[in-house]
Amino acid sequence: MTEFSAKQNIPFRLLSDLDSEVIRRYGILNDQVGREDAFLEGIPYPGVYVTDEEGVVIAKFFHDSYKERDSPEMLIDAALGRLLLSDDEPSASGGDEEVRISAVVHGGKGTIRQGIRRQLIVRFELGEGVHIYGEPVPEGMIPTSISVSAPPGLVLEDPIYPPTETLRIESMDMELPVWSGTVDIVLPFMAIGELASETRPLDMEHAEIEVGVRYQACDDNSCFPPKTEKLKLHVDLDVIDVPALSTHMGHGQREAEYNGMPHMFRLIRRKARKYPLGMLRLIFKTIRLEWAALRRLR
Amino acid sequence: MSIERDHHGFDAPVPLGHPARASLPDGQPTGPEVGETLPDFELPDAHGNLVRYHESRGGAKSVVVFYRSAVW
């Protein structure tokens, strides 16, 4: 772990749950993996807990796929209870005096990689007394909408809108959902294998994301013309190291600089004490699955 | 090893169905819930020093990440 920490530049503390005792106590042991799976046995479902000063969980992050993880920035946001945007994140801006619009790729300092979730933040800064509309609004009015065009393999989730305020228009006996002040619309996204497979060299170095924003701003007396803005963002595809094991070599983007095999052998030996046939059974299982995969790929 | 893409669209250097690719099943509990206090534990760090979780926080907020392996 000391070597791993140093090579990966990990600034936080790594702890070792050798016998998965804490993993079991927390109830997050991956029990689809058994002792017959040799060195794989004992792994948790990967996930993150964020706590307050009292140690009480205020947010947790677990996903359907073990490949899917949240950016560190999202964990910091969860701890702070607000979005903390930084100057080194790619951004583009537009709009006018009444409505300032910016789009930011939050997380990863302008990089993306397979499975790691980032956020596209569309921020409206509205002038004093100005509002824009949420949904639903009557026919003829323009609700705020975001459209994104991105390369294949960049998967966007549904936008997360902040809660709207209610604007009552007495003369028309109407209630409208509106936003005022600073409005952040959050679109989580990530790259999948089609764009940034971690098992082969990258096809491209960058990706362009185009954000389309449509809205109409009004104040208490009148409305400004509806507007459509296009903002362009640029992200780099991050090159990642393959695990430092000969078995992984040739299956990644960049080979790691150190040798993980001695650590692997130690792990295998330790698990073999629990179940001597484990490694043999895992090898047979892997060969059987390989054959099935080769049939599928043919 | 074969490279296969799973139904999420992710690639990994082991075939589908391999235990190394076993993901969280639907409805599987994921430990302490929001609002609960994280159970305390004591584990060794990279230098072999025992770390008691709540004590080590020193009254600060914390992020606890469960990772699968630093080896593979």
The answer to whether B34 and A28 have CB atoms below 8 angstroms apart is no
Q: B57 lies in a domain?
A: yes
Please, which residues 13-72 of chain A have a Cβ atom closer than 8 Å to chain B?
A: 13-18, 21-23, 25-28, 30, 32-34, 37, 39-40, 43-60, 62-68
Q: B14 lies in a domain?
A: no
* Higher-confidence position of A244 and A282: A282
Set of chain A residues whose Cβ sits within 8 Å of the Cβ of B65: 46-48
Cα separation, A298 vs B10, in Å, equals 20
Identify the band that residue A20 occupies on the pLDDT scale cut at 50, 70 and 90. very high
Selected residue of B6, B7, B16, B23 to mutate for chain A interface (largest A Cβ count, 10 A): B23
Domain housing B45: 35-72
Q: B61 lies in a domain?
A: yes
Q: A178 lies in a domain?
A: yes
* Higher-confidence position of A69 and A247: A69
Give the pLDDT mean for A211-240.
94
Set of chain B residues whose Cβ sits within 8 Å of the Cβ of A53: 59-61
Q: B7 lies in a domain?
A: no
| The two three-digit tokens of residue A142, written as one number | 């323009």
Condensed to tens digits (0 to 9), the pLDDT of residues A25-48 reads 999 999 999 888 888 999 999 999
Condensed to tens digits (0 to 9), the pLDDT of residues A238-274 reads 887 776 676 665 566 676 677 788 888 888 998 888 8
Q: A273 lies in a domain?
A: no
Set of chain B residues whose Cβ sits within 8 Å of the Cβ of A55: 37-38, 40, 54, 57, 62
* Beta bridge pairs of residue A155: A190
Query: How many separate domains does chain A show?
Result: 1
Q: What is the pLDDT of residue B56?
A: 96
Q: B59 lies in a domain?
A: yes
Q: A298 lies in a domain?
A: no
| Binary contact (A55, B57; C-beta < 8 A) | yes
Q: What is the pLDDT of residue A94?
A: 95
Q: What is the pLDDT of residue A251?
A: 60
Query: How many separate domains does chain B show?
Result: 1
Q: B27 lies in a domain?
A: no
A89 HSE (CA, 13 A, CB side): 19
B20: nearest CA in chain A? A40
Cα separation, A253 vs A54, in Å, equals 42
DSSP 8-state class, residue A293: H
* Higher-confidence position of A200 and A290: A290
B39 has a pLDDT exceeding 80: yes
Instruction: Please state the pTM of the whole predicted model.
Output: 0.90
Most confident of A8-17, A182-191, A245-254: A182-191
Q: What is the pLDDT of residue A10?
A: 84
Cis peptide before A136 (omega within 30 of 0): yes
How far is Cα of residue A272 from the mean position of the Cα atoms in its chain?
36
Domain housing A191: 86-237
- Position A28, amino acid: I
Q: What is the pLDDT of residue A249?
A: 59
CATH of the domain at A149: 2.60.40
- Percentage of the residues of chain A whose pLDDT score is greater than 70: 95
Give the pLDDT mean for A145-156.
96
Set of chain A residues whose Cβ sits within 8 Å of the Cβ of B14: 286, 289
